[in-house]
Every structure is written in C-alpha cells, then in structure tokens.
Amino acid sequence: DLGRAIVDMGCRVACGGLGGSMAAVCKGAQSSKYYLSGDTIGILPMEDADSANPHVDVIIPTGLGLFRNMLVARAGDVCIAVRGGSGTLSEIAFAWQLDKPVATMSSTGGWATELAGRGLDRRREGQEVVDLENVGAAKAWISEVLGL
C-alpha cells in the first residue's frame, strides 16, 4: 500500500487528514515496520481536531476551509494523487504551480486518472503529471525525484 511504502522509504505522509483515501494512506503508513509517531500529518479544513481520521499523528486544524488545500500542496516534497474529486484537483493544481513533482495513481479513478500523463498548463512546458501504475512505480519515482 502507498502509505506503508512511503514510510518504508523514510518519508512522511502529509494529507488533508479526513476520511477515504486520506485515511487509507495514513493507516497504511502506520502499518510500516519503520513507522514512528509523527509520520502521518493531517492538515484539516476545519478548526475541530476531532474531525481527523484516527490514523493521523500530527493534526493541524486550520479553520481555513478549502483554502487549506494550498497548505497540503506546499507541505510535501512531492504530490501523489489517489482518486480524487475537486479538492484533489485543486491540490494537484497548487502543487503544479508551486513547481512540485506531481504524479497520480491513475488506476484509482477520479482526477488521478484524468490528469495522468498530461501537462496542466504552459508554465511547465514539456512536463506532465507522471502516471504511476502501482506502488512499486511510486517508490521508484519518489526515490528518483528525492534522490533517495
């Protein structure tokens, strides 16, 4: 699973901290044999810390609503989208504009599928959102991009 692979590589998971894919990646991260408390970070849109999924170690209740998506994009060294609706779309767009490496797990559906292999605009001419077919491909991409 993606969260476990990320922590196995010595990295942390930063996400929106709520349910669905966010909870799944955090749960996976905590299943890593290398997991340490603090490896899962949830940047919440609301002020209520109790809204975080139970697998978030570091809860950041922003009270910013949708504006927190910029913080999620800025928090990571890379952006990997899984499934995704409009919130994920905005996080991908922010990460793209921040010149972060952006990839998707295209087999998961949603915006991850729609944007895989495409450039978002001309500000990164010749670049595209990387299509990661599986967790092994994600590990290889993270290693390459971060020089691990």
Domains parsed from the chain with CATH numbers: 2-146 (3.40.50.450)
Residues 6 or more apart whose Cβ sits within 8 Å of residue 36: none
3-state secondary structure of 99: coil
- pTM beyond 0.85: the answer is yes
Mean pLDDT within 85-110: 96
Share of the chain above pLDDT 70, in %: 100
Element housing 60 (H / E)? strand 58-61
If pLDDT is split at 50, 70 and 90, which confidence band does 134 have?
very high
pLDDT score at 71: 97
> What is the chain's Cα-based Rg?
14
If pLDDT is split at 50, 70 and 90, which confidence band does 123 have?
confident
If pLDDT is split at 50, 70 and 90, which confidence band does 60 have?
very high
Amino acid making up residue 145: V
Query: For all residues of the chain together, what is the average pLDDT?
Result: 96
CA gap 68, 11 in Å, rounded = 22
pLDDT score at 47: 97
If pLDDT is split at 50, 70 and 90, which confidence band does 31 have?
very high
Please name every residue paired with 104 in a beta bridge, in sequence order, or none if there are none. 81, 131
CA gap 79, 64 in Å, rounded = 20
Residues 6 or more apart whose Cβ sits within 8 Å of residue 71: 43, 60, 62, 64
If pLDDT is split at 50, 70 and 90, which confidence band does 98 have?
very high
